[in-house]
Structures are given as structure tokens and as C-alpha cells.
Structure 1
Amino acid sequence: MRQLNISIPKTITKAGIIFALLFTFFFASPALSQKPVELHPEVGDTIDLIEKLDYLLFTEIPDSLFDHGALTQNGEDYQLKVWHDGNTSEYGISAEEFEKYSGNVEKLSTYYQRQKEKLQAATKKSLVIKSDSIPPGLDIEWMSEKQKSKMIKESRRYNNLKLEADEMGLMGFDREKYIRTGGQMEFPLGH
């Protein structure tokens, strides 16, 4: 088998390398700098309409013109590219606005987490009978069918009276009295 030796002049090789480096520097660097920037770990680098609404982001852009957006760094400031119905728009975002929006996400995500924890704590402390304390269908061994039926009937009656009292505009003691007396209201007769 014959081996083919091809020699490339060193001047072409050096010129090629220099050209490749310059090409990479001038054309690839802007593409690398266009990498999306993460506003906050909670929302990531692409922000959708729900996140925009939930975290009060980019208030200068109407919600009706925003499907999703991505931020890129543009020197000291940022560029927001917004997509809506297949079209794109770009908006300048200052470093101060970026910090403000990042702060919004931080504050509101903390607030939403606290609300979730409060709801979970309230559910655990609730005095309402838990589903595990009464099996579905009220199959309590010690209750007869008659007792179960009466309990269901009384529950419906109570809720209906409560609804009627609300519809009548009764409040406070009058409301409770109406519910306790089974819907009978006492009206004093004028003498």
C-alpha cells in the first residue's frame, strides 16, 4: 500500500489558524453573549405569561402581547425578547429594573411559600372531622342505620337553615337563633 504525503505550507497553516480564531472571536462571541440570563432560580431563564402575572414582571409590556420571554445581557443592561403569536419583540431592561424584577420574584415566592405553609398548618389543626376518623359512607360500627340517617338529615337541615338565614340577611344572635329554633322566628305582637 502506498502512502500519500501532502505537505501544507506553514504560512497557510498559520494564516488559517489566525483566520479561524478571528472568525470565532467576531462571530461566535456575540452568539455566546446572547445566552439567556436567569432572572431568578424560581422562574429560570424563560418566563411564561403565568410567571409574569404571578411575580409582577415586565409591567410595561401588556399581558395580551406576552406569551413568553427570555432575557439576555447587553453590556451593563439586559435585552428582553418577547414571543407572542409567532412574532418577536425586543425591549431594553436596565440593570435597576432587572434587580427590581428579581426582587419581586424573591419576595413573592417567599410570600406564596408562607401562604402554602399556613394553609397546610390550618388543615392539620382543623376541628373538622377528618376523613380517616369517619370512613366514607359513615360506616361507623357503633352507629345504627337509624342514627346515621338522622345525623345526615340533621346535617342537611342545619345547612339549609344556615343558607336561609344568610339569604334573609340575618346576622349574629338573630342568625344563630333562627338556626337553633329550626327556622321559627318570634315576632313580638304590638299592644
Structure 2
Amino acid sequence: MKKIIILIMLVVLCLTCTGCIDIVQHITRLPDGSEQNTIRITVSKMIFALVAGSSFNEDKNYEEFFNDKEIKELIDIPELSPFSAKISKINDPIDIGYLIDMNINYNDKNILKKINSQDSIDFIPKYTGEKAIINLTAFSEKSNEKPNNDEAAMALLASGKYRLLISKSCIKNISKVVLKNDKEELDYTFLDLYDQFLIEIPIPILFSEKVVLEIYF
């Protein structure tokens, strides 16, 4: 299903030159010291309309998308259950997808032990003395599958973005951002937006590599 979605996105991008997949993560710290961590993953309904040869505004039943086995496995990440993850469907006139909402109590020793374990947990910041580490491996090819080497195809997906908005209540200052995979480390740009920071990563990187984001204080 993942490869079908990529193929569909390529068709749309060739025709419209606009992005059609959007991943937005917002992290903020609450007065009690816990963090509210919200992730929105959506795909444009335009994709399905073009493939079906129907009108973009035509009513459709999108349950096939929600019931797809690989989509469920991607969204229903077992590691997120200790963090009171609430998963809800998004089905508005423009997009279809999921909203994942978590409250993470870093003062809870059991929660902290889970976060600091060797097992990587996607989307959950792990704080050390000098940096925050966020694993973004859920969208990459499985280790036992042949990676996607179609560079031209992945380049067409470059208009799609993963956007991380992290409040200064969590991290007051950022000195640098490093993007790591199995092959290399890259210094990455970020934006200071007064009360929060914005980090953007092209979607092709998430689909083709097991990415780890390191945010240095």
C-alpha cells in the first residue's frame, strides 16, 4: 500500500506540482511538566479522485484507506500506548488521514525508563544533557525489504514535508540540528519563530532512510 500511495502521489505531483502528503508534529510543555505531542498525517483526496477518474468534489467512502492493513500498522504504533496515545481519523473536504495525540509525563519514572531504553520510539523526544533525539523511522522501508532507489521518483515527492514545531517551553535555544541515517550526518536548518522552532524535512528522506533527528541546545 505504501508503494501504491507513492506512485499515486507522483502522478499528482507531475500534474499539479503541489505536495499531497503532509506530516505535522507539534510539541509543547504544559504547566505540570508533561508534554503534549500531536502528530497530523494526511494525504490529499485529490490523489484518490485522479486515480478513480472521478470528480474531486464527489462523495466517496474512504473506509478502504482506513482499513488497509499497512496503514493500520503504520499508525497504530504499539510503542505509543504507554503515552496515552489517542488516535482519531481525519476526513475533511480536502484531506484524509490520522491525528495522534499524546500526553507524555517525563516526571513518571516508568515513562522515562521506556523513553530512555535502547528501543527507538518514533516521534517521542528523548532528552539528554545536550540534545533532544527524535526517531523518525516509521515511514522508511522495512529493513528486510529492498530500499527504493528511484531517485527521480523520490525527487518528485520533495514538495511534501514533515514539519516539526517545537515550543520554546520544551527547548529554549537551539544551537544546531543534525539529521542522521545509517550512512551520514547532515547539519540541518531550522527557523526561530519567536515562541517556537520549525524544522522541515522532505518526505522522500523519511520514506527512503531510517532518520534520527538530533536537536542540540
Question: With structure 2 as the length reference, what TM-score do the two structures score?
Answer: 0.19
* Higher RCO, Cα 8 Å, sep 6+: 2
Q: Which has the larger radius of gyration?
A: 1
* Structure 1 or 2: more helix by fraction: 1
Question: With structure 1 as the length reference, what TM-score do the two structures score?
Answer: 0.21
* Structure 1 or 2: more strand by fraction: 2
